[in-house]
Amino acid sequence: MSKIKLIKAREVLDSRGFPTVEVEVSVDDTRFAGELCTGRAMVPSGASTGEGEALELRDGDLKRYQGKGVLKAVKNVQEKIAPSLIGRDFQLQSLLDDALRDLDGTPNKSNLGANALLGVSMAFLRAQALAQRIPTDQFIATHFGTPGTTLPIPLMNIINGGKHADNGLAIQEFMIVPAGFDRFSEALRAGAEIFHRLKKILQKQGLSTGVGDEGGFAPQFTGAKPHEQALTAICQAISDSGYQLGEQVFLALDSAASEFTDGQGGYHFEGQTLTSEQMIATYGQWAKQFPIISIEDGLSEHDWKGWAMMTRTLGTYCQLVGDDLFVTNPIQLKRGIDNQIANAILIKLNQIGTVTETLETMKLAAHAGYRTIMSHRSGETEDTFIADLAVGTDCGQIKTGSASRTDRIAKYNQLLRLEERLGDRASFAGLKLYEKFKK
Ligand code: PGA
Ligand code: ZN
């Protein structure tokens, strides 16, 4: 590793036009004395956030960006983090991240802000990879102790609801899962073709084809069962595109159910208030009608009793993913593993705030046999770190939006580059990942 020479932060805009933190870390070049290698990173931002997430520091000054400015976090990087780290030589990413955590001194990064810490953590990793002339994904693989050759299955969110759209759908994400292909590029092609086919289907039904935060359509279905209408339209788009439903392409949901609970154990759903049991029964019914392979945050992050029941009922044939439930936090995940809650975890760097803690959570998941899914946030940037992280850790799945909006496509394009660079060494996670769930 090499010495940190410079740390710089600035306020930039994310995909929703709100401010976020960008950081540059420069380190000594290991080959050319006197030269610097600079890594740059941008931090994403969620909308349907879990309560246990690390703190995203916002200025709260209503005269700027509706209070969402990040000048305080930028100042923390420049005035508190930089002076203490510049001139130091961290031999490992984990030592840098330990220093960041020590500087902050709180369990949820509420002192300096997780957005300040994460920007430095990611930019430092990139700078070190550059200094050593190793591509970022391979640098991560070396650290994580994995081959770094698996291209992930894309979980593509082609209908947006919940907090990411204004269309009355309680469920936030309707995803297609093109798993039955030999290569990532073929899976991505299928996903994009299905997305375009869906547009035609929605147009025929007289529905809007404007897109939501993650680039999926956000139609206002008018029937009594809008969720089934959405699932039906997607299945038709898959078949009409010439792909085999339930053989090549599957469906996945992210309910983000914490967003539609009534706080007393009930769920506001299609004009009714449902119990946890009724929500589970609804999912069970859908899984019979449609090839649903994965359900994320199917119940609220506070409904651990319901989650235990859901895992017993659906967990044998469905991937059950904890996002708001686990918030990429090893302590929360451990609690889930100990209580046999869920069987997979969504991985979001900014939920926990450093690269090292993210990797620690992923290791814990892998040891317990839980699957890991690398994820974007609904507020994104052109940064493609998660693509490198997905391949570098061989995690097998990535959730990074639909086949539109450059903030989402940037990640897919980076994965295409990685597939090309890996050449014959590249493998695609593919159907074998879901073998256990085959009905
Ligand atoms: P968020 O949504 O980034 O708004 O939290 C993504 C998700 O819930 O998976
Ligand atoms: Zn989610």
Q: Which ligand is nearest to the CA of 161?
A: 1
CATH 3.30.390.10 in the chain, residues? 4-133
What percentage of residues in the chain have a pLDDT greater than 90? 95
Among 398, 45, 48, which residue's Cα sits nearest to residue 256?
48
- 255-276 pLDDT, tens per residue? 999 999 998 989 999 999 999 9
- 21-76 pLDDT, tens per residue? 999 999 999 888 899 999 999 999 999 999 999 999 999 999 999 999 999 999 99
Among 164, 234, 247, 250, which residue's Cα sits nearest to residue 200?
234
Q: Which ligand is nearest to the CA of 212?
A: 1
Q: Would you state the structure tokens that stand for residue 376, as one six-digit string?
A: 């974007």
- The rounded Å distance from CA 397 to ligand 2 centre is 14
Cα–Cα distance measured from residue 49 to residue 219, given in angstroms and rounded to the nearest whole number: 23
| Ligand 1, pocket residues at CB < 6 Å | 46-49, 254, 256, 323, 346, 375, 377-378
Torsion-angle region of residue 67: left (phi > 0), alpha (psi -120 to 50) or beta? left
pLDDT at 1 > cutoff 80: no
Q: What is the pLDDT of residue 437?
A: 79
35 flagged as catalytic: no
Q: Taking residues 173-197, what's their average pLDDT?
A: 98
Q: Which of 53, 214, 357, 380 is catalytic?
A: 214
Report how far apart, in Å, the C-alpha atoms of 6 and of each of 3, 38, 175, 270 are: 9, 9, 41, 54
Q: Which ligand is nearest to the CA of 49?
A: 1
Please give all residues whose CB falls under 5 A of ion ligand 2, grouped by chain where several chains appear: 254, 296, 323
CATH 3.20.20.120 in the chain, residues? 150-437
Report how far apart, in Å, the C-alpha atoms of 288 and of each of 244, 292, 293, 314 are: 17, 8, 11, 11
Q: Taking residues 201-230, what's their average pLDDT?
A: 96
* HEC secondary structure over the chain: CCCEEEEEEEEEECCCCCEEEEEEEEEECCCCCCCEEEEEEECCECCCCCCCCCCCCCCCCCCCHHHCCCHHHHHHHHHHHHHHHCCCCCCCHHHHHHHHHHHHCCCCCCCCCHHHHHHHHHHHHHHHHHHCCCCHHHHHHHHHCCCCCEECEECEEEEECHHHCCCCCCCCEEEEEECCCCCHHHHHHHHHHHHHHHHHHHHHCCCCCCECCCCCECCCCCCCCHHHHHHHHHHHHHHHCCCCECCCEEEEEECCHHHHECCCCCEEECCEEECHHHHHHHHHHHHHHCCEEEEECCCCCCCHHHHHHHHHHHCCCCEEEECCCCCCCHHHHHHHHHCCCCCEEEECHHHHCCHHHHHHHHHHHHHCCCEEEEECCCECCCCCHHHHHHHHCCCEEEECCCCCCHHHHHHHHHHHHHHHHHHHHCEECCHHHHHHHCC
Closest approach atom of ligand 1 to CA 378: 3
pLDDT at 226 > cutoff 80: yes
Q: Which of 109, 348, 399, 411 is catalytic?
A: 348
Q: Taking residues 365-380, what's their average pLDDT?
A: 98
- 42-51 pLDDT, tens per residue? 999 999 999 9
348 flagged as catalytic: yes
Question: Best mutation site among 323, 325, 373 for ligand 1, i.e. most ligand atoms within 8 A of its Cβ?
Answer: 323
Cα–Cα distance measured from residue 275 to residue 281, given in angstroms and rounded to the nearest whole number: 10
Q: What is the pLDDT of residue 31?
A: 87
Q: How many CA atoms lie within 13 A of 412 on its CB side?
A: 25
Place of tokens 């995940």: 333
- 326-349 pLDDT, tens per residue? 999 999 999 999 999 999 999 999
pTM of the model: 0.98
What is the architecture of the domain spanning 4-133? 2-Layer Sandwich (3.30)
pLDDT at 439 > cutoff 70: no
- The rounded Å distance from CA 48 to ligand 1 centre is 5
pLDDT at 438 > cutoff 80: no
Contact call for residues 144 and 47 (beta carbons, < 8 A)? no
Contact call for residues 361 and 347 (beta carbons, < 8 A)? yes
- Which superfamily does 150-437 belong to? Enolase-like C-terminal domain (3.20.20.120)
Q: Taking residues 242-259, what's their average pLDDT?
A: 98
Q: Taking residues 266-291, what's their average pLDDT?
A: 97
Among 93, 164, 104, which residue's Cα sits nearest to residue 134?
93
The mean pLDDT of the chain is 97
- 300-317 pLDDT, tens per residue? 999 999 999 999 999 999
